[in-house]
Amino acid sequence: MAGRECYHCKQWVEKGEEHDCWTTTEAALTQDLSEELRDAWERLRETALSFGDQRIYASHKSIMFSRTSCYFFVRPKKSFLEVCVFLGRALKAPQVRRVDEASKSKRVHFIRITHRDEVEPPFTDWLREAYDLPDAQAAKSRTKSAGSKRAARPSCSS
């Protein structure tokens, strides 16, 4: 019997059979959520959609929310939604379980959501801040480069 065991999911894949265990769907990731968590998930998704244009897609065990890059993602768990939000600063708040450096300019914040009522300010404000972060960073770099160009010009003296 020719075939192989998938390195990721350990499923047996017959020779010639298509297999992509990394491909999943939002529905598949949220199908086993309790009613309370499903309500929280729906409210979280609606809130994110209200911000504007973005791409929402499932990847492995997460649901990603992205503009030019991912600004937050959700890992549905059995008893909570693990929400990972990318911000340009570190937050200190009781909702934030952990903050890690994601890059030179971004920090990822790990937040647990267990109920629909937790999807409200300040949490929703942080999501909006994360959504707007690429615009803020672009404006900041334009201001810096414009300032350095002005400073680099030689002065005219006749």
Tokens matching residue 96: 């934030």
In whole angstroms, give the CA distance from residue 24 to residue 63.
9
pLDDT category, 89, cuts 50, 70, 90? Answer: very high
Amino acid occupying residue 158: S
Tokens 């952990």 belong to 98
Cβ proximity of 8 and 21 under 8 Å? yes
Q: For the whole model, what pTM was predicted?
A: 0.77
Q: Give the pLDDT confidence score for residue 158 in this predicted structure.
A: 47
CA angle 110, 112, 113 (to 5 degrees): 135
What is the pLDDT averaged over residues 58-76?
94
Cβ proximity of 109 and 91 under 8 Å? yes
The residues facing 149 across adjacent strands are none
pLDDT category, 71, cuts 50, 70, 90? Answer: very high
